Structure 1
Amino acid sequence: QGLNQLAKSIDEHKTIIAEDHADNEYITKPISQGGAGFDAQWDLGCPYVLRDTLWSSNASEINLAGLLYLLNHRFNDRAFERIGFVDSHDSAANGMVRFSNAISPKDPESKFAKQRQLIAFGIITTAPLVPMLLQGQEFMEAGDFNDWRSLDWRKSDKHQGIVLAHQHLISLRKNTANVSSGLLGEHLNVSHIDDNNKVVAYHRWDNGGPGDDVVVVINCSNQSFESYEIGFPRNGLWRVRFNSTWAGYSDDFSDILVADVFVDNGRGCFNLPENCILILSQDS
């Protein structure tokens, strides 16, 4: 408490983050309420939930419960008191490996590993939390993390499409094109749970409306659907802002076209590729 009080007295605008294992709301409660006074804390369960959810594309082996918990969990009912991540220097070390290695041990740069990497980071950038990256994940760095071995920077050229996908997701999260301001808000509604086919959709918004409302669709299975129907928060045209199967992200991706969706009576149908994450919004 004393250290946080001192830090805020020097610069009240700085964000103070706790790398703490307690998963306790009092870490980020104000000091005036008996808390430690941190602004945010790591959600240490994130990388393990993502691994448990995405390690297989066989529907019978996928449990969506952890993903739903990850999306809805927050401290003190405030979304941005939580730091979420695919990997950290802890989850990728201490006898463990990076996400890509964990889900595809024989080939951490495989098509499956790349598909799952984009789904995982897509979840982190669209969930109501503060996203964090571990350097190297954007170009499929493999193995474990240590502080004496440098990254294989040649992979940033080899996997420049995966780097681009990370850039696109970050851009949507930051609302740089003014089409996804809802990702800057705290509101979340998990609007669609298809446990049989392992498809989840959720609505994110800040103030609501065109350019703000965002719909995220995740297909965790290895099955594609030519006409998949879900509910949308508003009628009209919804544009696909991100499609993780685009061949521009990787030459071995299927590059399945997902056309913009026209929603009528609150329902919309679209092509849903296997192992993918889609992000849609309306023009403002």
Structure 2
Amino acid sequence: MGRYDWIESYHQGHCSAAYRHFGAHPATHRGKEGWEFCVWAPKAKAVSVVGDFNNWDTTANTMKQRGEIWEGFIPDLKPYTAYKFSVIGADGEQRLKADPYGFHTETRPATASKLYHFKDFKWGDNAFLKKQEANPVYQAPLNIYEVHLGSWKLHENGDFIDYKDLARQLATYVKEMGYNAIELLPITEHPLDDSWGYQCTGYFAPTSRFGTPDDFKWFINHLHKKGISVILDWVPAHFCKDAQGLYEFDGSCCYEYTVPCMQEHAGWGTRIFDYGKPEVISFLLSSARFWLEEYHIDGLRVDAVASMLYLDYGREGEEWLPNIHGGRENLEAVAFLQKLNQMAFSINSNVLMIAEESTSWPLVSYPVDQGGLGFNLKWNMGWMNDMCHYLKLDPYFRQHHHKDITFSMMYAFSENFVLPMSHDEVVHMKGSVVGKMPGDYENQLRCLRGFYAYLLAHPGKKLMFMGPEVGQWNEWKSSGELDWHLLEKDLGKQTHQFFKDANAFYKKQKALWQIDFDWSGFEWIVADDNDNQVVVFARKDIAGKDLICAINFSPNVYSGYRFGCYAHKQYSLAFNTDSQLYGGDDVGQTPIVAVDHIPSHGKEQSIAVDIPAFGTVFFKGEGRLPKLRNKETTK
């Protein structure tokens, strides 16, 4: 293949490895070692490479134009040298731009790219990757701990912890707590801490806040060796308007839409990628591939998918243009997402491609050849919204909103869902997860335990943002760290122990994850007891073994609550959120419950159990219930 054979593919929107050509790469020209530079700037009049090494002289290292692409070579530069592209636009104005394909950057508030050479990193995660390949997510446990690296933990003086120390501490903690995956809020380089990474300037650069690109590889490698998957939040929906970024890169709308009414999310203050430009598609495909291939990332959670799918997203009246069929669907974005997912699965058949999609768009987690978008998982935003609404209600009024905890089963198997309780629900005056609960702090923790058990029991994979496991009642702030001091108190220690035990229980019970995506793994037993605010259902594994979950969302203790069950001889208590170990009262701690020949809820037999206030109890069936002889009567 010739040196420039990739260019045609790039201009057609098919190049998913453009980072191998664009940006800055070490090279030798005419016996001199140096760096090759390459950038796409179709409307530029002139482009040069500038930095301290040439006193920011725009005439010292000019680049040659090859169609819409500019190239240059500079000898004798050292790794970590800071540089930018000086781009003279069609309007004659100079713009200093960071490298769109730069692998490393200065640390904010500085904004230049830095030369970085990927050496042969010695990965040690082969055993982990093979194990993942042998255990596809569809019939495996997935319990995700969502993390913002800048506020999980800090040094005592408030400084960030670097990637390697974060890896050591986080891997130990996550493994101890029983999660098997982490999801990172975007670590793609971003200028503003308060954006949490969702307004990116470096689509190929892990943020330098915590170290170098190789340090981040070490981070991932270490978590993999500890058996923990790493999912990265990735933002192809929009980009920030910071001067050094993609914004009007060559003086024209280069990466964004050209039509003014379509080029910006006014509510977010960001520009929107133009999915009709093949070069933009190549850029985004290459970014996704870069993280999956170069960094061994296990999955991408694609942010704000709904904003990509709808041309009228966040717009009113005539502030948008319909597609060629007169509809509101962004056909180019749909094609991009399908192409993205097909590419991702061609790289790693076990990759997690997760859509944050908040509408009823059909077949999000279905393969492209079945008419789907091609993701294999989708956040269940409806469930999250319903639960947040329900949890904040005074218990008296919950009886009138019972559908908040049952309606999700009307569509639970329409997609491959992840049940998230994400960072978005613990900011902007929404309060922490604990803070959503009614009553005093001790009662709030009781509610938290019952709710978390319900989350683990409900069909779908699991995600919880950091904080509830220490009993955090303050709303999350990205500028501090979690309230680790709560673990010095008994309630904090007990809550921490609960999350460890609940996660271990989830991982051990195949019924809670082997069949997450169809009705054969779930059966309602009590769905309509809104007066008592109780739901009871069974989860089943592939072998047909059942686990009964009884959940009480009320402040009342129910003694002898009867519901139908399967024809087992008895049921043993498998887990109780009201254990004294967790700060509870030991209500419902009866270890064995006999099955009675009393019909209930469509079953020929039933059990009567005690259900604690705001609590959840799990029961496992044992043995076979003897059939009644003709002369026997029911108890």
TM range (shorter): 0.7 to 0.9
Contact 1:181 1:213 (8 Å CA) reproduced = no
**Structure 1 position 99, deviation (Å):** 1.9
Matched residue, 1:91: 425
Work out which of the residue numbers 372, 386, 406 in structure 2 matches 1:68.
406
Partners in 1 of 2:503 and 2:351 — Cα distance? 21
Cα distance per residue 1:199-218 (max 9 Å; x no partner): 11001112355xx3010001
Does residue 52 of structure 1 match 2:389?
yes
Work out which of the residue numbers 555, 571, 581 in structure 2 matches 1:222.
555
CA 1:129–1:74: 2 relative to 1, 3 Å? same
In the alignment, structure 1 segments of 5+ residues that lack a partner are none
In structure 2, give the amino acid aligned to 1:277.
T
Work out which of the residue numbers 271, 278, 283 in structure 1 matches 2:617.
278
Partners in 2 of 1:25 and 1:157 — Cα distance? 47
In structure 2, give the amino acid aligned to 1:262.
A
Matched residue, 1:201: 536
Work out which of the residue numbers 132, 136, 139 in structure 1 matches 2:470.
139
Contact 1:238 1:263 (8 Å CA) reproduced = yes
CA 1:56–1:111: 2 relative to 1, 3 Å? farther
**Structure 1 position 268, deviation (Å):** 0.7
**Structure 1 position 283, deviation (Å):** 5.0
Contact 2:579 2:589 (8 Å CA) reproduced = no
In structure 2, give the amino acid aligned to 1:270.
V
Identity %: 20
In structure 2, give the amino acid aligned to 1:261.
V
CA 1:206–1:40: 2 relative to 1, 3 Å? same
Task: Name segments (4+ residues, structure 1) moved above 6 Å.
Answer: none
Q: How many residues were matched structurally? A: 269
Partners in 2 of 1:23 and 1:139 — Cα distance? 34
Matched residue, 1:100: 434
**Structure 1 position 82, deviation (Å):** 0.6
Range 274-283 or range 50-59, more displaced: 50-59
Contact 1:182 1:208 (8 Å CA) reproduced = no
Cα distance per residue 1:60-85 (max 9 Å; x no partner): 44321110113443253x5xx11103
Does residue 182 of structure 1 match 2:511?
yes
**TM-score (normalizing by structure 2):** 0.40
Partners in 2 of 1:154 and 1:263 — Cα distance? 45
In structure 2, give the amino acid aligned to 1:70.
S
**Structure 1 position 101, deviation (Å):** 1.4
CA 1:19–1:56: 2 relative to 1, 3 Å? closer
Matched residue, 1:129: 460
CA 1:51–1:170: 2 relative to 1, 3 Å? same
CA 1:112–1:9: 2 relative to 1, 3 Å? same
CA 1:75–1:228: 2 relative to 1, 3 Å? closer
**Structure 1 position 227, deviation (Å):** 1.5
Higher RCO (Cα < 8 Å, 6 or more apart): 1
In the alignment, structure 2 segments of 5+ residues that lack a partner are 1-337, 598-604, 624-635
Contact 1:23 1:43 (8 Å CA) reproduced = no
Work out which of the residue numbers 490, 494, 497 in structure 2 matches 1:161.
494
Tell me which structure has the larger Cα radius of gyration: 2
